[in-house]
Each structure stands twice: as structure tokens, then as C-alpha cells.
Amino acid sequence: MNNQKKYLIKLLPGGKSIKVSTDYNLKQAILDTGINIDSSCGGVGTCGRCKVRVKEGKVNTKKSKFISSKEKENGYVLSCLSKVESDLIVEVPRQKKAGVKIEKGRFADIESKIYADISKDELASVEIKPWIKKGTIVVEKPSLSYGTSDLFRLKKSIRENLGIKNCIVPIHIIRKLPLVLREKDWEVTVTVDKENSTLIDVQPGRTDKKSYGLALDIGTTSLVIYLADLENGKIINSESEYNPQIKFGEDIINRIVYANRKGGLGKLKEVIIDSINNLIWRLLFNSQVDADSIVSMMVSGNSTMMHLFYGVPPRYIREEPYVTVANKFSSSTAKEVGIKHIKNAYVYNIQGVASYLGGDITSGILATDMYKKKELTLFLDLGTNGELVVGNSEWMMGASCSAGPAFEGGGVKCGIRAVDGAIEKMSIDQKTYKCQAEVIGGGKPRGICGSGLIDVVGEMYLKGVIDRKGKFNKDIGNKYLKCVDDDCQYILVNGKNSATGEDIYISEVDIDNLIRAKAAIYAGIKTLLEEVDSSIHDLDKIYIAGGLGRHLNIRNTVIIGMLPDVDVGKYFFLGNTSVTGAYLSLLSEDKYRQSSKIAEHITYIELSVNMKFMDRYVAGLFLPYTDMKDFPTVEECLYSLDSKLKK
Amino acid sequence: MNNQKKYLIKLLPGGKSIKVSTDYNLKQAILDTGINIDSSCGGVGTCGRCKVRVKEGKVNTKKSKFISSKEKENGYVLSCLSKVESDLIVEVPRQKKAGVKIEKGRFADIESKIYADISKDELASVEIKPWIKKGTIVVEKPSLSYGTSDLFRLKKSIRENLGIKNCIVPIHIIRKLPLVLREKDWEVTVTVDKENSTLIDVQPGRTDKKSYGLALDIGTTSLVIYLADLENGKIINSESEYNPQIKFGEDIINRIVYANRKGGLGKLKEVIIDSINNLIWRLLFNSQVDADSIVSMMVSGNSTMMHLFYGVPPRYIREEPYVTVANKFSSSTAKEVGIKHIKNAYVYNIQGVASYLGGDITSGILATDMYKKKELTLFLDLGTNGELVVGNSEWMMGASCSAGPAFEGGGVKCGIRAVDGAIEKMSIDQKTYKCQAEVIGGGKPRGICGSGLIDVVGEMYLKGVIDRKGKFNKDIGNKYLKCVDDDCQYILVNGKNSATGEDIYISEVDIDNLIRAKAAIYAGIKTLLEEVDSSIHDLDKIYIAGGLGRHLNIRNTVIIGMLPDVDVGKYFFLGNTSVTGAYLSLLSEDKYRQSSKIAEHITYIELSVNMKFMDRYVAGLFLPYTDMKDFPTVEECLYSLDSKLKK
């Protein structure tokens, strides 16, 4: 059979078109046109988000529980389960998340943000001494009685002035060496990569040219990059962007599945590198910094993101016994990993601990003081995954619990990420059960984000809308509860008041998803503490890092039984500690060395096969927890509310 | 003025043509067509070899002593001094050396050659332990209780089994690591570059694939390359070729001059790399060795050749105080230096001593036993330059004397290289003064090579054809001497008997060139020995390396006063020791380390500014030397010949 591209697919609205061969996957065809069709399962038919309507033409499609019989009649199919069999006209629903940008201004005042994330004292204590060392030196002149080579005399001067022995000088530097040395009478400015004892650049004379570095956090959901002055540590500018790999799978597991496909790894690497190149271009453009003055880039990210960044197959991260290919990758030139614009810069990465405790967590610990102090601290990074480290200057123990995508708005029917239009806070009127929402960016709501969801469930539980199992109390006269048989939806925002024109609601399935997520987090904390014969009451501090933390109402996380019921004063929000740690490591070789020490210092506990964890998890499938004694203030609160109602 | 390519140049014979812009250099235009126009001065009008005849059109040319007034009338110009001013038809004389190949069979029996060059004992003593280490190892399996990364476990196994700590694993290897490790149940064969502690390759299981290396000598005149099996040291094949840079200047100085021109360095690098790629291709093709199994290449050459190979400006080698940019270059991948076919192989180089005492000499010393023994040995490499090292296991002193191109057939009117058709030996009939020539490859002679020249001058002196100053004795009735005024030519071969149809002769200018060359060599030897309070009589051995050695008649070199008048049994011919040393260093990390020790151990004496050297040089401008006491056997021989004649 001839496999040439024979069928024309036209997409509505907009009219983009593409030619594909017989049996080509319809979702892939849509992605190929550049349209970001929604999907969180990576294209295996389990999330139901890539629904499209085939208006003309024929596809070979599989049955799906996400397509009702009425929808089927009208031509709706899951594009990921459909193969092209003729010319098509396909209507692609407006994508909820397509084109959404991280709100402007979030990183506008970078300096103050940094100071908020780590204490001023901590930042002030960082000695600015990057891995990339720049120095002006005078090289001894040759003479008839001292006729050693230019290279020998240069190395001697580097050793004597900068203390770097046996500096490696690559051929491309040797090529320009004789002219550079003689241009300003043997005075040169050298740039040395101290980790690899390698000369990166040599310029004639004392150059006023500054040197800059980049700190990059590759998150599963978003990318954040800082441009920093390597002399004074000042952050010149920053940029952020969604991780473009989202369209191939929202969470880590789905990306790994996609990477296993033919060409999948290459595609995932390509889109992330393209995005980073784009971020760097924007940084350079906006700050008018010369690309050649960028000498280094420090990258932090979870283990899967680092594998994909370096183009390394992540497959064994999700197959027992769950090992990475590498927790630390060799440093390399930017060119080697495909980074444009700053080709001669060196790329370093923060060492990770294990498959599900990556360099982003090491970086996070580095951004705190917990590895230096005796206080018992819990570090918690809440994003797509929940990672936790407990310990102090003497020991540290870490684990990861798969919280599922609920906190990022995934797995929840009306869930969206924490962007403009997302409900981030929610209160419920005790008498009418009417909801009052706070929306990010003001305006009408489009959906509910992770922190909003926690608020809703907490409020629903406190106000008696749901019971301890997360099931709706149908006998309280809640007129916002709409049930069809056993399928109930609690209307949070009426369609008339939403941005989409449709109701924003929460169902028992959504609540169940959140309960599973919070149960995993709390079980992780309990298990980790029990491993070291401690309890939640021994904790001196709890650091919350990650995207979720920014909008979180701690009290509600305690009410639903996700975080320990301890003095709220022990909680601290740190924001994106992964990029902060990368930034510190970029500025200071001591910090960079420290990050590897931290990674080696953390004992990793694999929770997925830990029986105690399973017990705690099952115990956590109630609100707030099976044993109410763990949550005394919640019990007290419920008792007092109950009393009020009875009055 | 419009600088577009507007003029058409047509070359005769053959009719090749090229378009160039106004004022384009005519010689360059001819070279651009691919025609190898002869030149030894690098295009500055001092050798007179690039003479062409402009049959039609106009050039702007400079006056030259090489163009007679009659030639000028007939349109002859030096192409290097001419600029194009119109369309041209140019007749290019048949080039004497164009297309000449090193005679086949010279390296046919490599093994026997090697054994001839270095003693069997020496070769047998070499432990085959290359810098590139290959080994089959078993990597520990991961488990839930031992969940370290693949990379960590691989490095651990390399450390435990091969003794290499902190092995660097480049990103491109990490990319394939997870699959390779699991393919044959955690058994892998690794290839490690021990100099850089870098993993070069990892293959699943125990591979039977052999690994090979290349040893390359880049001489000013020719390239020689060996393909060796890195397990048993066997030389599989070899190739050789003229150095293609010859067309840009025959000796080192002219190449440096050319490299200084705009684009010159790039051109010189390009042609040498092309040639090496071609040699490698031929080696691979003829031996049916897989390109991927070539893991390393060891390069040896004089300092200028190494600069040009790596694309490093050699300019300061010829400007006082005569320093190199580097005596040892960082090892790199073949790809980095432009070597094709074996992209992933590593390229190493042998450390040199100084501008005029390069890695070829270090390599040469390594190929001998002189650095290990107490005997006082003189090592002499006679090629385009004369390099010498004197010493033993305790000390070594080296120098270089610019012998000029006479030994390679340059600077002599009828001189050619030691190729088919070259007169390599010569005897003169005492009575008739008729010459009897031995020609390389048999057949009619085309010219005279270095060793032939030494024979001719030695014979002429012994037979009274010339006096001690190298001037013709005109009163001995030599009918082969043709004089026009003071300009005399001694006809060695009549045009009827030559391959070119023209007389092969020698003039006083030619003799003078040879005398200067031999005076420099002898002065170098004397000066070096005096520096250490020794004399020629203290020498236990004299090793002669380099191209000239192969055809040399030692007795005649002594008669002309070039080499010391000591027992002929002390002389040993070693051939191309540069490639032999590179080959040894390729096979053995101990030898490679030893080569750097040798280079650092040699004290370099700059003769060009040494007053004693100048005195000895002037004293050497007589045959055999001013003070006959230095050459007692020559004096004796002259006396006995004189006596015979008188009888």
C-alpha cells in the first residue's frame, strides 16, 4: 500500500490544515499543526480531554466511556483513539489551557521575591564565588633564555594567580592564544571553569565585559529562568513559561510513557530545548545583555525532567526498582545539549537523590537553612508530585508520594491551573450553602485550582456539605446540590456567573481524587517521621515549597488532613525553591558543592513498597483522618461549630 | 571599482580555466584550479620556480632575477609576482614534482621495517597497555534496597574492576546507558580514555569487536600513518603520502610565512586534514577495519606541523624569541580537529621541546634506547631541518640547525626528492671525471636527491674536481665542466641519458648550498658537545633518523665534513623514528608518559644566537673543515689518493 501523505485534514475554527498518510493518529495530526490539543494521559484514551468533532470524512475510532451515544451520533471522537481514513473536516473545541500565560508581574519584582523566599541574612551570607572564575593576569614574556611555550607560561600564571592547577586549555582557545596574549602586552583576562579545571575563554587586557549566568528550573508544569550578574549576584531579569511537554502528558508518568514511544524522547527533548532557547532569547533581548557574556547555566529539575532535558531515556524511573540513569549529569557546553545563543557557556546541573526525589528537591533544601540547623524541619514540595524531606544538620530522610495531578487542577472535572480565572479561595455560607469565590486576577471564574479545591473540600467538610468519607450529605437541604440518580454535583458557581457560561461544580469523584492526594501526602509525612522515631509534634518548622504553596490556606489543608495539625506559626511558604537553589549554586561554588553533599546526605525511602505507608494512606481516606486524635484542633472546631448550630 | 570575478584565465596545456577578479594573484589563481604549481619560497619571488608564460592578455608583474630579458620578451613571468589585469591564456610548464608518489613497497613489509628501526628486544619489551583501556565488567543490578542510579553503579564497577576513579561519562554515552546495561543482563564492555579518565564507549555484553589505533607522523615533506591492533600491537596496514602543504612552501619557514597571510592558516590546515582523512579512508578500505573500532590516534610531528594540524597560528615560531604556542596540545576527539571517518576516536599528540625541536624528535628519542642507557649517544634527525639531541639516561641536550632544503633536493638547480628517478649514489672516474650514477627505481635519472648530492660533492672533493672551498678546479682538464665566464656547471648526466632530455648538472651555487647545510649540522654537533665539555670522540653511538638517512653513504658525509670522523661502526640508521615513537605511545601508556618525560628532560639550546655555533659554522664552510685534525681519516685518504696520483 502506498503510504504517501494523501489525506487533507482541515481544522475548525481557524481553518489550519495538514496532509497525513492513511491510519495517521488524529490527535498527532492536530498537534502537528501546532494546535495545543488538551490531554493529560499522554494519548492513551484515559483522560477524555482530546475530544473533537469530525464534521466530514471518516475515521477509524475506538469506543470510549468519554463519548456518550448522543455525542457519537454528532461525530464526536477521542482524537487520540482515532485513525485517519479519508479527507477530514474536524472541529477542535476551544482549548481551556491553550495560550494561557503565567500572569505578568508574578516575577516582576524579583529581588523582593528572592528575599521573601529565603531570608535576607541567608542571601547576604552567600559568598559570590561562581564555578566560573574570571581574572586578569599577567603572563610572563618569553625570552631567548626563557623560551617555554605560550601555553606553559599561561598555565603557570593561572596556577600562581588563580590557584588552579593543570588547567585544561581546549584546542579552540589555543588557536587564538598567541594573538590574544600579545595584544595587550601579555595582560589577559581569563575565564576558567573550576569544576572541570578548564579554560573557557581568554581575552586581551583587562576587560570591562561583565559575565553573566543563568539559573533554570525545569518543572513538570513550568519553566523559570533567571539571568544573574556573576560579579555582584544581582538578578538582571527573569522569564517563565509553561513546560511545552504538557501537551504530551500532564504528569511525569505520562511523559515517561510518551518518551517510550518511537521518536517520543526526541520530541520531548526538542520541545523543552526549543522553549529554553526561546526563554534565553527573551532574557537577552529584554536585558540587552550580550550572548557571549553568558558563561554558565545551572539547571535544576526533577529526575524525569533532567533525563528529558539531556535526552536520556527515563523509562526505568517508572519500572521497579525505579532507578534513574543518572542523578547528576556531566557538565557540558551549552552547544552539546542543544542550547543556542550561548553556545560557549557551560551547563551544570544540581544532583538529585533518586527517581522521585530529584535535583529540584536538593536545590530546594539548599535554598533553606535546614541542612545547617539542629531544628527538626519538614520540607515539602507540593506540585504535580509531593516530595518531602525531614531532618536537620545531622541527618536527612526523603521520600516522594504520588499525589496525582489534583493539586495542579488535573483529575478534577472543573480543575485548572493556578492562572487568571482560577478560583483560589472559597467560603461556604453555613445556612444557604452558597459559595463565595476569590478568583486569581479578579473577573469571572473559569475553573478551580489546587488551593481552591482544598478550600472547597475543607469548607464543605466543616459546613457539613460532605461527610468524613467525602460523600455528599443529601438531607441538609443544600439547593446547590444537583443529583441525577447517585451522581451528584455541588454547583460552586452558576453558569451565568462563570467565564465559560457553564456551571463550575465539584463531584464526589473530584472529592475522592483530592482525598487520595491528601492522604498520600499525610501518610508520607507520618511514615517518614516514624522511620526516625519521631512524630509530627517533634517538628520545629514546616517549609512549603512549590507552586501550590503560593495560594494555600494552611488552615484548610489541616482541616482536610493533608498537613499536620500543629501550630500554624511553624509553617513557612518558600515558593519556587528549585530555581532559588540553582541561582545560589550558580553564584557560589561552595553552594554548588554543598548541593551535591545534600543529595548524598539524604536517605531515600521508597514509599510505594512500604507497608506502613499503605496503612497510613488507607487511614487517610477519611476527613481529616481515621484517628481524630491526630487532628485535635479540627475536632475542637467541628465540636464548636456543631454546638453553634445546635444553639 | 567593481571587484566581481570578471577575468577568465585559461591554462595550457590542458585548458583548465578559472574566473578571478582584477588584481588577483596569478599563482594563486593557478593553485585554485588544482594545478600544483611548483614553489619553495611560499610565493615571495625568491625561488624562481613558479615561472609561467603569459601567451595572451595583460598582467602587472614585478621584475625578477629569475626572468632573463629574452624570457621577458616571450611573456615569461613569475606567477607569484603577477597580478591579473585582463583575460589571460597562460602556459604552465610541466611540474617536475607534481603527481610524484612515494615509491610503492617502501612500507610494504612494515613489521620488518619496524624491527629494523628499533631492536626486536626493545619492541618485545613494550607492554601493550594503551591509553585506551577496554574491559568487560559486570555492573551491580539495582534493587528496591539498592536504588542508586545506573551511572553510579557503572562508575563503581569501573573503579573496582579497571582501577579508574571518577570516570567522566559524557552525555552522549549516558543517553544510551540504560538500554546497553540491560541488554546483556548488566554485562558490558567499556572503553575508557585513561589520560582524561573519560568513558569513550560502552557496548552490551562481552564484545569480540577489536579496537584499533592510528599512529601518524606529520613530516614537513611526507605523512606516514600506521593502523595498529591495540590488543596485540600488530601493525595491520600503513599508508603514506606527500604533505600537500608543500605547494604553499617547501620548508617550515615558508609555510609559516604562508600561514600569516589572510586565510593562509585555514588553507594549510584544510589541506593537511583532507590528506589525513584520505589516508585514513585508504587504511580502512584496504584493511576492511570498521571505522567505529578505531578508538585513538597518536600524532607526532615538528612544532610547526603540529600548529598547522591543530589550526594554531605558528607565527611566533619564526620571530625572536622563537616560542611555540604549545608544545603539547590537549587531547581531543577526532571530530574536534576535523578528522572524519573515526569521529569518536581520541586524538593525542607527542609533546615537543621547543619551536625547532618538536614532538617528532621526542618521539624519535622514545623509539631508541638512548634515554635508558649510560652510553653517550648523538641522535640526529636529518630532513628539511637538522635536529640533534645528545645525552644519555642522566641528561639530554637538544638543538636545531637550519640546514636549508638542500637535503630534500631544494635550493639545488637539479635537486629533487628521494623518489623514483633521483640519483642517490654517485661515483666519479679519477681519470676521465665521468660520473657514474645509481638511480632510485632504476631507469633514467630526472635529478639528484640529498644523498646523491652528498655523494657528488664528496667524490668531487676527493677526486680533485673542486677545492676545499667548493670551487671548481678549472685546470685539471675536466671536459664535463662547462663554463660561461665565471659560471661553471659540472655535467653529471648528459641530456641524452636523462629522463627529461636536459643535462643534470651541479653548479658552484649548488655546492655552496650543500656546504652551508653540512657546516650547520657539524657546527651544531660540535657546539652541543662542547656545552657539556665533551668531544666527538666521547660519543658511543650516533643514531641517524629521518628521510635522508635511508640512502646515505656515511663515508661521504664524513668526507664532506658533515658528520664526525669517528668509527663508522658507531653509526646506526633508524629511518622514520617519529612514527615509530607515535606507534609505541599508542600501544603503551608507559611509553606515552615517558615521551612527555623525555620532552621535559631535554635542555634546549638556541643555536641561532649562540656565538660558538657561529664560529664553528664559519669554520665548516671548508671541505671537510678548517682544521683538518677533526677529520684525520679524510686527511689520510686525501694523502693516499694524492700519493697514488703522483705514482
Q: How far apart are the C-alpha atoms of A180 and A187, rounded to whole Å?
A: 9
- The pLDDT of residue A117: 47
Rounded mean pLDDT of B54-69? 88
Statement: residue B614 has pLDDT above 50: yes
Across chain A, mean pLDDT equals 88
Statement: residue B487 has pLDDT above 90: no
- Helix, strand or coil for residue B638? helix
What homologous superfamily is domain A360-403+517-614 in, according to CATH?
A: ATPase, nucleotide binding domain (3.30.420.40)
| Contact list, A330 vs chain B (CB under 8 Å) | 168-171, 174
**Phi and psi at residue A91, in whole multiples of 5°?**
-95, 120
For A104, the grid coordinates are: 505578568
Q: How confident is the model at residue A306 (pLDDT cuts 50, 70, 90)?
A: very high
For A10, the grid coordinates are: 482541515
CB contact (8 A) between residue B330 and residue A178: no
Of B142, B322, B355, the CB nearest to A323: B142
Q: Are A98 and A49 in contact (CB under 8 A)?
A: no
Statement: residue A417 has pLDDT above 90: no
Across chain B, mean pLDDT equals 88
Q: How far apart are the C-alpha atoms of B192 and B15, rounded to whole Å?
A: 54
Q: How confident is the model at residue B609 (pLDDT cuts 50, 70, 90)?
A: confident
Handedness of CA B114, B116, B118, B120 (dihedral sign): positive
Residue with cell 475510532: A61
Handedness of CA B163, B167, B173, B175 (dihedral sign): positive
At B136, which helix (H) or strand (E)?
A: strand B132-138
Strand ranges across the sheet with A487-493: A481-484, A487-493, A504-507
What is B5-40 written as a DSSP string? --EEEEEETT--EEEE-TT-BHHHHHHHTT-----S
Of A171, A321, A337, the CB nearest to B144: A321
CB contact (8 A) between residue B311 and residue A336: no
Q: How far apart are the C-alpha atoms of A554 and A562, rounded to whole Å?
A: 10
Q: How far apart are the C-alpha atoms of A78 and A68, rounded to whole Å?
A: 11
- Nearest CA to B441 out of B418, B415, B469 is that of B418
Instruction: Produce one character per residue of B286-315: b if its CB has 16 or more CB atoms within 10 Å, e if not.
Output: eeebebebbbbbbbbbbbbbbbbbbbbbbb
Statement: residue A118 has pLDDT above 60: no
Q: How far is CA A375 from the centre of its chain?
A: 28
- The pLDDT of residue B451: 87
**Phi and psi at residue A90, in whole multiples of 5°?**
-125, 130
| Contact list, A170 vs chain B (CB under 8 Å) | 330, 332, 336
User: Within 13 A of B255's CA, how many CA atoms are on the CB side?
Assistant: 31
Residue with cell 542550547: A339
Which chain A residue is nearest to residue B307, measuring alpha carbons?
Answer: A175
Rounded mean pLDDT of A61-71? 84
* 8-state DSSP, B106: T
Burial class of residue A639 in the structure, from the number of CB atoms within 10 Å of its CB (0-12 exposed, 13-18 middle, 19+ buried): exposed
Q: Are A380 and A552 in contact (CB under 8 A)?
A: no
Dihedral, CA atoms, A579, A581, A582, A587, nearest 10 degrees? Answer: 130
Percent of chain B exceeding pLDDT 90 equals 60
- Helix, strand or coil for residue A110? helix
Bridge-based pairing of strands A59-61 and A88-91 is unpaired
More confident residue, B344 or B644: B344
Q: How confident is the model at residue B48 (pLDDT cuts 50, 70, 90)?
A: confident
For B198, the grid coordinates are: 573519560
Of A150, A322, A330, the CB nearest to B323: A150
* A519, amino acid identity: A
Bridge-based pairing of strands A447-448 and A422-428 is parallel
Q: How far apart are the C-alpha atoms of B323 and B514, rounded to whole Å?
A: 28
CB contact (8 A) between residue A149 and residue B324: yes
Strand ranges across the sheet with A51-56: A17-20, A7-12, A88-91, A51-56, A76-78
Instruction: Tell me which fold the domain A7-91 belongs to.
Output: Ubiquitin-like (UB roll) (3.10.20)
- The pLDDT of residue A639: 84
* 8-state DSSP, A168: B
Shortest Cα distance, chain B CAs vs residue A326, angstroms: 5
- The pLDDT of residue A48: 75
Which chain B residue is nearest to residue A351, measuring alpha carbons?
Answer: B149
Statement: residue B22 has pLDDT above 50: yes
* 8-state DSSP, B103: P
| Contact list, A179 vs chain B (CB under 8 Å) | 313
- The pLDDT of residue B549: 63
Q: How confident is the model at residue B39 (pLDDT cuts 50, 70, 90)?
A: low
CB count in 10 Å sphere of residue B444? 15
Which chain B residue is nearest to residue A353, measuring alpha carbons?
Answer: B148
Query: Which has the minimum average pLDDT: B103-117, B297-311, B475-489?
Result: B103-117
Which chain B residue is nearest to residue A317, measuring alpha carbons?
Answer: B149
Q: CB within 8 A of A376, min separation 6: which ones?
A: A390, A391, A392, A534, A538, A539, A540, A541
Q: Are A254 and A41 in contact (CB under 8 A)?
A: yes
Q: How far apart are the C-alpha atoms of A323 and B260, rounded to whole Å?
A: 56
Q: How confident is the model at residue A232 (pLDDT cuts 50, 70, 90)?
A: confident
pLDDT tens sequence across B213-246: 999 999 998 899 999 999 888 889 899 888 999 9
Rounded mean pLDDT of A61-81? 87
Q: CB within 8 A of A550, min separation 6: which ones?
A: A418, A451, A573, A575
CB count in 10 Å sphere of residue B503? 18
For A113, the grid coordinates are: 521575591
* Helix/strand/coil percentages in chain A, nearest 5: 35, 25, 40
Rounded mean pLDDT of A248-274? 94
Rounded mean pLDDT of A175-181? 96
Rounded mean pLDDT of B335-346? 90
- The pLDDT of residue A39: 66
Task: Report the residue of A139, A151, A355 to disrupt the B interface, i.e. the one with the largest count of B CBs within 10 Å.
Answer: A151
Query: Which has the minimum average pLDDT: A9-13, A32-36, A245-249, A577-581?
Result: A32-36
CB contact (8 A) between residue A354 and residue B323: no
Q: CB within 8 A of B236, min separation 6: which ones?
A: B212, B227, B228, B229, B287, B289
Q: CB within 8 A of B509, min separation 6: which ones?
A: B413
Rounded mean pLDDT of A387-406? 90
Within chain A, which residue ranges are assigned CATH 3.30.420.40?
Answer: 360-403+517-614
Selecting from 3.90.330.10, 3.40.50.2300, 3.30.470.20, 3.30.420.480, what CATH number does the domain A210-349 have? 3.30.420.480
Q: How confident is the model at residue A103 (pLDDT cuts 50, 70, 90)?
A: very low
Q: How confident is the model at residue A51 (pLDDT cuts 50, 70, 90)?
A: confident
Q: How confident is the model at residue B121 (pLDDT cuts 50, 70, 90)?
A: low
- The pLDDT of residue A30: 84
Percent of chain A exceeding pLDDT 90 equals 61
Q: CB within 8 A of A166, min separation 6: which ones?
A: A155, A197
CB contact (8 A) between residue A330 and residue B150: no
Q: How far apart are the C-alpha atoms of B469 and A647, rounded to whole Å?
A: 134
Q: CB within 8 A of B124, min separation 6: which ones?
A: none
Shortest Cα distance, chain A CAs vs residue B301, angstroms: 16
Which chain B residue is nearest to residue A335, measuring alpha carbons?
Answer: B171
CB contact (8 A) between residue B151 and residue A316: no
Statement: residue A100 has pLDDT above 50: no
| Contact list, A326 vs chain B (CB under 8 Å) | 149-152, 169, 174, 177
Q: How confident is the model at residue A487 (pLDDT cuts 50, 70, 90)?
A: confident
Q: How far apart are the C-alpha atoms of B113 and B107, rounded to whole Å?
A: 7
More confident residue, B416 or A258: A258
CB contact (8 A) between residue A332 and residue B148: no
Q: CB within 8 A of A582, min separation 6: which ones?
A: A215, A216, A217, A226, A298, A299, A300, A350, A363
The CATH number of domain B132-204 is 3.40.1360.10: no
Rounded mean pLDDT of B367-388? 90
Q: CB within 8 A of A360, min separation 6: which ones?
A: A217, A219, A300, A301, A302, A305, A350, A352, A381, A387, A578
Which chain B residue is nearest to residue A142, measuring alpha carbons?
Answer: B321
Q: Are B247 and B39 in contact (CB under 8 A)?
A: yes
Beta bridge partners of A472: A466
Query: Which has the minimum average pLDDT: A321-335, A545-559, A575-589, B362-376?
Result: A545-559
- Nearest CA to A270 out of A242, A309, A305, A243 is that of A309
Rounded mean pLDDT of B352-373? 94
Q: How far apart are the C-alpha atoms of A408 and A219, rounded to whole Å?
A: 12
Q: How confident is the model at residue B116 (pLDDT cuts 50, 70, 90)?
A: very low
Q: How far apart are the C-alpha atoms of B592 and B299, rounded to whole Å?
A: 11
| Contact list, B322 vs chain A (CB under 8 Å) | 144, 147
Task: Report the residue of B141, B197, B312 to disrupt the A interface, i.e. the one with the largest count of A CBs within 10 Å.
Answer: B312
Query: Which has the minimum average pLDDT: A21-35, A57-71, A325-339, A434-448?
Result: A21-35
**Phi and psi at residue B350, in whole multiples of 5°?**
-85, 130
Task: Report the residue of B139, B141, B144 to disrupt the A interface, i.e. the one with the largest count of A CBs within 10 Å.
Answer: B144
Of A149, A152, A168, the CB nearest to B330: A168
Within chain B, which residue ranges are assigned CATH 3.10.20.30?
Answer: 7-91
Residue with cell 524531606: A389
More confident residue, A625 or B97: A625
Percent of chain B exceeding pLDDT 70 equals 91
> Which residues of A make CB contacts under 8 Å with B?
142-144, 146-152, 168-171, 174-175, 177-179, 182, 310-313, 315-316, 320-330, 332, 336-337, 354-355, 604, 606, 609
CB contact (8 A) between residue B169 and residue A330: yes
Shortest Cα distance, chain A CAs vs residue B101, angstroms: 32
Dihedral, CA atoms, B259, B260, B262, B266, nearest 10 degrees? Answer: 30
More confident residue, A478 or B575: A478
Beta bridge partners of B225: B216, B239
Task: Report the residue of A148, A173, A174 to disrupt the B interface, i.e. the one with the largest count of B CBs within 10 Å.
Answer: A174
Residue with cell 499543526: A33
For A264, the grid coordinates are: 517520543
Rounded mean pLDDT of A46-74? 86
Within chain B, which residue ranges are assigned CATH 3.10.20.880?
Answer: 132-204
More confident residue, B128 or B160: B160
- The pLDDT of residue A647: 60
Selecting from 3.30.420.40, 3.30.1300.10, 2.60.40.420, 3.30.1490.110, what CATH number does the domain B368-405+515-642 have? 3.30.420.40
Which chain B residue is nearest to residue A179, measuring alpha carbons?
Answer: B313
User: Within 13 A of B158's CA, how many CA atoms are on the CB side?
Assistant: 27
- The pLDDT of residue B157: 97
Shortest Cα distance, chain A CAs vs residue B540, angstroms: 30
Statement: residue B106 has pLDDT above 50: no
Statement: residue A85 has pLDDT above 60: yes
Rounded mean pLDDT of A394-409? 83
- The pLDDT of residue B124: 63
Rounded mean pLDDT of A483-508? 92
User: Within 13 A of A75's CA, how many CA atoms are on the CB side?
Assistant: 14
Which chain B residue is nearest to residue A260, measuring alpha carbons?
Answer: B179
Beta bridge partners of B91: B12, B53
CB contact (8 A) between residue B178 and residue A313: yes
Task: Report the residue of A140, A325, A596, A600 to disrupt the B interface, i.e. the one with the largest count of B CBs within 10 Å.
Answer: A325
- The pLDDT of residue B328: 97
Which chain A residue is nearest to residue B607, measuring alpha carbons?
Answer: A144
> Which residues of B make CB contacts under 8 Å with A?
142-144, 146-152, 168-171, 174-175, 177-179, 182, 310-313, 315-316, 320-330, 332, 336-337, 354-355, 604, 606, 609
CB count in 10 Å sphere of residue B117? 21
CB contact (8 A) between residue A143 and residue B321: yes
- Complex ipTM over 0.85: no
Within chain A, which residue ranges are assigned CATH 3.30.420.480?
Answer: 210-349
Statement: residue A567 has pLDDT above 50: yes
- The pLDDT of residue B99: 28
Shortest Cα distance, chain A CAs vs residue B609, angstroms: 9
Shortest Cα distance, chain A CAs vs residue B186, angstroms: 13
More confident residue, A547 or B473: B473
Of B147, B178, B313, the CB nearest to A178: B313
Shortest Cα distance, chain B CAs vs residue A348, angstroms: 12
Of A312, A321, A337, the CB nearest to B147: A321
| Contact list, B336 vs chain A (CB under 8 Å) | 170-171
